Amino acid sequence: MKNLLYQTNDIIRDRYRIVSPIGEGSMGTTYEAEDLTNYQRVAIKVVSLRQTQDWKIIELFDREARVLANLQHPGIPKYLDRFDEDTSTDRRFYLVQELAVGESLAALVEKGWQPDERRVRKMALQLLDILNYLHQLTPPVIHRDIKPQNIIRHTNDKLYLVDFGAVQDVYRNTLTRGGTFVGTLGYMPHEQFRGQVGAASDLYALGATLLFLLSGKSPAELPQTRMKIDFHRHVNISPALSQWLEKMLAPAVEDRFASAREAISALSLPLKPSVREVTSHNGPRGSRISLMTTENSLVCLIPLHWNLILSLTTITIVLSFFAWPIFILLAIPFISLLGSQSLFIDRQKFILKKRWFGICFQEIKGQTADIKLVDVEVTRGSKGKTLFNLVIWEGVRKYNFGGFISQYEKKWLEIRLSEFLNLRRLQPLDIERSDNCSKLSSRAIASFKPRKN
């Protein structure tokens, strides 16, 4: 940390001994200290007038102290003291609070911690209880900067909401810090950019924080569709929690929960065991493709076509009259066709398998978030025939799927897979028109003659 005003063992006001710095932000530095009158550990936030470039920081600091002095909730560190001190070159402002023992959610995730859905639900209920308390005060208190860095988790799973430096009651206008709106990108709702905040703004920020815990990524890193965070491919959660998060993160204020109490009621419904609604999708007429989806998973099975099996059986009978070595050599190309392809996708991973006689001879695994495109590619065979290949792009790697199904089945699968993965599709492909265009292009190339100089 830069520009620290105090070092370990420095004494403030003949009472507080500095132990170590805890954090530093635009509104000063917070230290862990020891109260020498009772030897209790406390947190002291210090703002230096000399280092402050905006008087609004002092106003926000004073507001934080006034608000905290009137708050009484087990999830909010208690206000203990507020004082100023002058030095020969500076005036310093101090806010003393009960020390929230633990680590921030941001620090925990950075170390690899990722809670499961049940734990996230419990954490959400704790934080919603704090927000319900704040929002029911008169006037309501809006935190305005809920994020993983401002939530401390004790080892017993107790949570504390800290840093009320951006706090605002709803009867005041939004202030800015140096021309920048109070809040943190990725966790701020859209209305906060316009300087309009309310209880629903804190709910949005809490939803974004929970999404960070579930995905391990900042909401700012996730894709958006029509100003709405598209998080489904990056988390593996129940449909119920997914719908609840969607409402918390709705871009429009009126589409979110009306209050923290309402959000608590919706989230408190018992988590049902994993009874998932399975949807079976019918392919093109005559297709033997099996495609089933739930909200969070997809399974596709493409068996070998029956006509191919029948042909192989006939050839096997005929070849049985010949010598075995010849039979084996001639049968290899057909044996390679006797099998199936399968594709499994959930919100975290995908698995592509190819089988012969029920034995898996190829398995490809990857992260679902890395799938960028599903497309039907049009290529030319060695004899000039137009070929249609269903391709799954994982970054710069591509995998062919469904090599022995028709071009119409491939197009149908492309649409279904893209819809499930919520991928942007390329311009719709008119197969017949594309084939005709390819023929015209081939003729044009064949008839082209370079101009002689």
pLDDT tens-place values along the chain, 453 residues long: 567 889 999 999 999 999 999 888 767 899 999 999 999 999 999 999 988 877 788 888 888 899 999 999 999 999 999 999 998 899 999 999 999 999 999 999 999 999 999 999 999 999 999 999 999 998 899 998 899 999 999 989 999 999 887 655 433 333 344 444 456 777 888 887 777 788 999 999 999 999 999 999 999 999 888 888 989 888 888 889 999 999 999 999 999 999 999 999 999 876 555 445 678 888 888 888 889 988 778 999 888 654 444 444 444 444 444 444 444 444 444 444 456 889 999 878 899 998 876 677 889 999 888 899 999 988 887 777 888 889 999 988 999 988 778 888 999 999 999 988 888 766 544 444 444 433 433 343 344 344 444
CB 1 within 8 A of CB 24: yes
- Both 249 and 183 in one domain: the answer is yes
Read off the CATH number of the domain in which 55 is found: 3.30.200.20
| Residue 452 annotated as binding site | no
At 435, list the tokens: 């084939």
Instruction: Specify the residue for token string 């966790």.
Output: 187
- How far from 36 is each of 13, 29, 40, 294, 301, CA to CA, in Å? 11, 21, 8, 60, 71
CB 345 within 8 A of CB 421: yes
CB 13 within 8 A of CB 83: yes
Q: Which residues are catalytic?
A: 145
At 197, list the tokens: 């905040």
Handedness of CA 240, 152, 221, 350 (dihedral sign): negative
- Both 167 and 235 in one domain: the answer is yes
- Both 73 and 86 in one domain: the answer is yes
| Residue ranges making up the domain that contains 389 | 281-443
Task: Identify whether 450 is part of a domain.
Answer: no
Number of structural domains the chain divides into: 3
Taking the whole predicted model, whether its pTM rises above 0.85 is answered as no
At 322, list the tokens: 């010949």
Tell me which H or E stretch contains 385.
none
Task: Identify whether 437 is part of a domain.
Answer: yes
Distance of CA 18 to the CA centre of its chain: 39
- Both 326 and 417 in one domain: the answer is yes
